[in-house]
A and B are shown apart, each in its own frame.
With several copies, the nearest count.
Chain A
Amino acid sequence: MWQWFYKLGSPRHFYDMTTAFLPWLYGITFFLLIVGLVWGLGFAPPDYQMGDNYRIIYIHVPSASIAIGGYVMMACMAAMHMIWKIKMADIVAKVTAPVGGMFCALCLFSGSFWGKPTWGTYWIWDARITSTLILLFIYVGVAALRSAYDSESSGAKAASVLTLVGVVNLPIIRYSVDWWNTLHQSASNLSLRVEGTNPPEIWIPAFFMGFALFGIFLLAVILRSRNEILVREKRTQWVQDLLDRDVQEGLQRA
């Protein structure tokens, strides 16, 4: 177990392991996505209150969870980078910032496009919505801070510090609905938590879509990490060998 973690911490082993793992991830994600989309959009019945609008939930809720979960992951990576100076952790943290930010933006967009038919407005200063916006700002801030430094290592450390400081926002998003009188959620009686009130035809495809989006998130993070590994380790022997091999294969195919 520890051995495995240790290996994952080395860029080279991470690269090798994900090479084996990637095709599976592609396959599963694709499968879930197709099933979720076809079922959710084609077969699930319209909601008695919101008609077909509710289908946005298939994007909205997973992207919200991923935006938050992605931040948690980024923060863990930042902590690992700060404490144990694990290079791989920093690589993952670096590539997570823009990906997580994208999902956060996706949540905001899907939410506000949902808000128009349900609440009658695109934007409302509701606690959860606001704190999601703040999360987006923090994602942007972390990425911007890193890129503002020229030295890779300084940027990495600075971004780690900011990521850890930004963790305080997470409980706010989670509990904001309790602290604040809020429009979000209360306007809709459709909630995943109370599965009993909704027919399984609605929430099962939601699970499929949830895992599919999570798969996409993982794919994005892993692919970008691999890219980053190659850039950072470009002068090591194994990357050179890898590139040589790719070139050879390309030549043979041509």
Chain B
Amino acid sequence: MMFAATNLFCERDERVLFSHLDFSIAAGEVLQVQGANGSGKTTLLRILCGLNPDYSGEISWAGQDVQNIRETFNRHMFYLGHSPAINKTLTPLQNLRWYCASHGFSDDAAIFMALAELGLVGYENIPCYQMSAGQQRRVSLARLLLAQAQLWILDEPFTALDKQGVTELEGRIAAKAKAGGAIILTTHHALQLNCPVRVINLDTLIGAAK
């Protein structure tokens, strides 16, 4: 068992989003967090990855509380949020170089390969604001291929992608799971992965809590 949350509780503005939330995810598993708009999926994911400290409960990585091993955990975790984390005045290449460097490596060949795989050949050196919404999203997703994280935490990764993009990303997620990764994700679209998916539904949880 690699990543676990025990007895998580979070409230926002006096409204309990979830309480007594327990789950764990091991290598090879995919966990989908479901729930209606405003049910707390993003909040949960940000708590898990360490961006939101307003919770009670325990989150552990390889048996250790993540709060004590922040840097190690960050090295093994990849988070993709609602916002793309792409500077629009920089080119995809420059954006991804910085991402790599901030994770302690440099590998231009891999960046070019990642961009090619996402269908952005020819766009490596144009500033990102000159791209469409979906293309910007793809630059952001290229980091998935560069990061060598074991745990992926993806918040609505399919946003703005066209049909082909969605299918490819689903394939990548399934492949990651098969290769021993662990994925926690949210999405409102009907996932079609050819690997088993566990589901946590925050709506029913809330129902229980209320």
Proximity string of chain A (148-187) to chain B, C-beta cutoff 8 Å, 1 when within and 0 when not: 0011010000000000000000000000000000000000
**A150 near B130: Cβ-Cβ < 8 Å:** yes
A82 CB to nearest B CB, Å: 13
Which of chain B's residues have a CB closer than 8 A to the CB of A153?
Answer: 53-54
Proximity string of chain B (153-197) to chain A, C-beta cutoff 8 Å, 1 when within and 0 when not: 000000000000000000000000000000000000000000000
Which of chain B's residues have a CB closer than 8 A to the CB of A151?
Answer: 54
- Total count of chain A residues near the partner, CB < 8 A: 3
Inter-chain CA distance A151–B130, complex, in Å, is 10
Which of chain A's residues have a CB closer than 8 A to the CB of B130?
Answer: 150
- Total count of chain B residues near the partner, CB < 8 A: 4
Inter-chain CA distance A95–B163, complex, in Å, is 46
Inter-chain CA distance A151–B127, complex, in Å, is 13
Q: Is the interface of B mostly helix, strand, loop or mixed?
A: loop
| Nearest-CB residue, chain A, relative to B130 | A150
Inter-chain CA distance A65–B54, complex, in Å, is 37
| Nearest-CB residue, chain A, relative to B12 | A151
Inter-chain CA distance A153–B10, complex, in Å, is 13
Which of chain B's residues have a CB closer than 8 A to the CB of A150?
Answer: 127, 130
B121-161 at interface with A (beta carbon < 8 Å): 127, 130
Which of chain A's residues have a CB closer than 8 A to the CB of B127?
Answer: 150
| Nearest-CB residue, chain B, relative to A235 | B14
Proximity string of chain B (32-76) to chain A, C-beta cutoff 8 Å, 1 when within and 0 when not: 000000000000000000000110000000000000000000000
Inter-chain CA distance A58–B127, complex, in Å, is 48
Inter-chain CA distance A150–B127, complex, in Å, is 10
A98-152 at interface with B (beta carbon < 8 Å): 150-151
B40 CB to nearest A CB, Å: 15
Inter-chain CA distance A39–B130, complex, in Å, is 57
| Nearest-CB residue, chain A, relative to B126 | A150
B91-140 at interface with A (beta carbon < 8 Å): 127, 130
Which of chain A's residues have a CB closer than 8 A to the CB of B53?
Answer: 153
| Nearest-CB residue, chain B, relative to A154 | B54
Which of chain A's residues have a CB closer than 8 A to the CB of B54?
Answer: 151, 153
A-B pairs with lowest CB-CB distance, top 4: A153-B54, A150-B130, A151-B54, A150-B127
Residues on A facing B (Cβ under 8 Å)? 150-151, 153
Residues on B facing A (Cβ under 8 Å)? 53-54, 127, 130
Identify 5 residue pairs between A and B in the complex whose beta-carbon atoms are under 8 Å apart, listed by A's number. Answer: A150-B127, A150-B130, A151-B54, A153-B53, A153-B54
